[in-house]
């Protein structure tokens, strides 16, 4: 029997127990866990269109949107017999049983675990090797207006149409927009990503002032088309996902005629159920609009023939054929070194072994400010640095503040760097000790991110200036 404080909902013919239903998940609006569950049930048809039949990584906020989140790839061992799972393999070589949601009862069950947003893979459980979804993630650099994001979305729609694909737009629920395309499940993850790289470069060619395909943040401008969201093991918040923001914003599907005038803040946990009831789901036809990647892959072949190689992959992936080198210049074979190396490896902060770009060379003058468990802590460190360097701050543009969400063991952490390109060289401050110094791997004795069981122990360093 459930405890008195629990609430049992009848959903899709099953009894789903909601524990701690009155727990506040969004302090600003007062929305509780039960409110979150009822929201997802109100939009279940659309939410299931985004996640149905797909393995899902669980991002759990057991203490609500303002609490610390952790990722759980493996399905809980204690679960009802009607919760489906499928075994996935990851780039590290490890495997995990992940949950597959197919109905509203399963959806309510995972929300009860503290999952605020939904993070499915772009494959179906029936075929884990061939994505059926091309994902376009429009990620603006700091300072880019929402209007510019909408403009890039419209250019992307036209490019997709010219290459035989139908794009389905939605707000990301955060700072950007997403455009999804259903595709035939006959291409591998590397092939789908290759098509995404070609798409990003074509959008950049058509709108070079507002769009970019550059991977390294210090080289970006405008809106970045994040092709690496199509790499294996990457997940994106799906349609109707509530995001863990103070205003409980929702990743909301749109009709294309809404895109030029939509405002992201209009779509929240409080407003989307009424919109869904009145308008239905704008992405209702997505599963019938299945397209081919052949034209984009042909464009990719043309790019390669013209001298464009592969674009950088995320750091935890194995080295790919044609990818730019990740090896430190000094460690390359002499015959492989360029005659005139470009850029330099920025020095690390005192007490650290790697700097703002790891071992990668860059032509940009970068310094690192903070490595923190949360963005709030990192930004507090940035403000302390700003107070000491007010004369430098006046030269910086919003795009010069590089805020990165980094992967740790089970949670993300935040890194902040500053690009000093707009600061006169004599006035550029040196790399100082980090304002916040957090190591998510300190004390960890298990497999590392590459799957190696043996890992050298790290020395714990005390935070400086925190």
Q: Which range among 196-205, 367-376, 449-458 shows the weakest confidence by mean pLDDT?
A: 449-458
State the Cα–Cα distance between residues 132 and 287, nearest whole angstrom.
10
Instruction: Pull the structure tokens for residue 439.
Output: 């190591």
Q: What is the mean pLDDT of residues 318-325?
A: 60
d(CA 286, CA 169): 10
- What tokens were used for 420? 């000093």
DSSP class of 78: S
CA distances from 15 to 60, 82, 212, 415 (A): 22, 11, 48, 43
What is residue 414's three-state secondary structure? strand
Tokens describing residue 230? 């199509």
pTM of the model: 0.76
Structure tokens at 147: 């209007």
What is the dihedral sign for C-alpha 9, 11, 17, 22?
Answer: negative
Instruction: Report pLDDT digits (tens) over 57-111.
Output: 899 998 899 888 888 888 988 899 999 999 988 767 788 899 999 999 999 999 9
Residue with the two structure tokens 């950007």: 176
pLDDT for residue 331: 45
What single-letter DSSP state applies at residue 330?
G
The vertex-203 CA angle with 49 and 417, nearest 5°, equals 90
Per-residue pLDDT, 452 = 44
**List of residues 6+ apart from 51 with CB closer than 8 A:** 101, 107, 118, 120, 238
User: Helix 146-162 vs helix 189-206: angle between axes, to the nearest 10 degrees?
Assistant: 120
Backbone dihedral region for residue 148 (phi beyond 0: left; psi -120 to 50: alpha; all else: beta): alpha
- Whether the predicted pLDDT of 377 surpasses 60: yes
What is the rounded CA–CA span in Å between residue 333 and residue 339?
Answer: 12
96 CB-side CA count, 13 A: 19
Calpha distance 124→86 (Å, rounded)? 10
């Amino acid at each position: 029997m459930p405890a008195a404080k629990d609430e049992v909902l009848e959903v899709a013919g099953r009894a789903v127990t909601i524990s701690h239903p009155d727990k506040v998940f969004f302090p600003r609006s007062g929305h509780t866990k039960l409110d979150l569950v009822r929201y997802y049930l109100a939009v279940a048809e659309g939410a299931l269109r985004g996640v149905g039949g797909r393995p899902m990584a669980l991002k759990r906020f057991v203490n609500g949107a303002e609490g610390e989140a952790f990722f759980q790839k493996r399905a809980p061992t204690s679960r009802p017999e009607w919760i489906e799972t499928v075994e996935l393999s990851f780039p590290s070589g490890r495997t995990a049983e992940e949950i597959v949601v197919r109905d509203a009862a399963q959806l309510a069950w995972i929300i009860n675990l503290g999952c605020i947003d939904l993070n499915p893979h772009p494959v179906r459980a029936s075929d884990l090797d061939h994505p059926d979804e091309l994902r376009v993630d429009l990620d603006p650099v700091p300072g880019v207006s929402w209007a510019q994001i909408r403009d890039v979305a419209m250019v992307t729609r036209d490019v997709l149409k010219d290459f035989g694909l139908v794009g389905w737009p939605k707000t990301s629920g955060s700072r950007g927009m997403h455009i999804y395309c259903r595709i035939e499940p006959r291409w591998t993850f590397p092939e789908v990503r290759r098509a995404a790289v070609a798409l990003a470069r074509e959008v950049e060619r058509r709108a070079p002032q507002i769009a970019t395909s550059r991977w390294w943040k210090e080289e970006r401008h405008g809106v970045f088309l994040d092709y690496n969201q199509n790499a294996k093991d990457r997940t994106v918040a799906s349609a109707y996902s509530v995001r863990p923001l103070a205003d409980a914003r929702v990743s909301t599907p749109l009709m294309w005629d809404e895109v030029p005038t939509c405002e992201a803040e209009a779509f929240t946990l409080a407003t989307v159920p009424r919109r869904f009831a009145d308008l239905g789901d704008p992405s209702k036809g997505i599963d019938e609009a299945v397209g081919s990647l052949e034209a984009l892959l042909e464009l990719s072949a043309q790019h390669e023939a013209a001298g464009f190689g592969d674009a950088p992959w995320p750091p935890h992936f194995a080295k790919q054929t044609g990818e730019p080198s990740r090896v430190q210049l000094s460690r390359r074979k002499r015959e492989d070194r360029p005659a005139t190396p470009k850029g330099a490896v920025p020095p690390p902060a005192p007490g650290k072994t790697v700097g703002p770009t790891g071992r990668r060379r860059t032509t940009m003058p970068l310094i690192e400010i903070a490595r923190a468990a949360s963005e709030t802590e990192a930004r507090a460190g940035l403000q302390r640095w700003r107070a000491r360097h007010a004369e430098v701050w006046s030269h910086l543009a919003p795009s010069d503040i590089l805020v990165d969400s980094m992967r740790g063991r089970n949670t993300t952490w935040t890194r902040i760097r500053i690009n000093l390109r707009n600061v006169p060289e004599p006035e550029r401050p040196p790399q100082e000790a980090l304002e916040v110094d957090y190591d998510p791997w300190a004390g960890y004795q298990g497999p590392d991110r590459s799957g190696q069981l043996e890992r050298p122990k790290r020395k714990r360093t005390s935070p400086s200036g925190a």
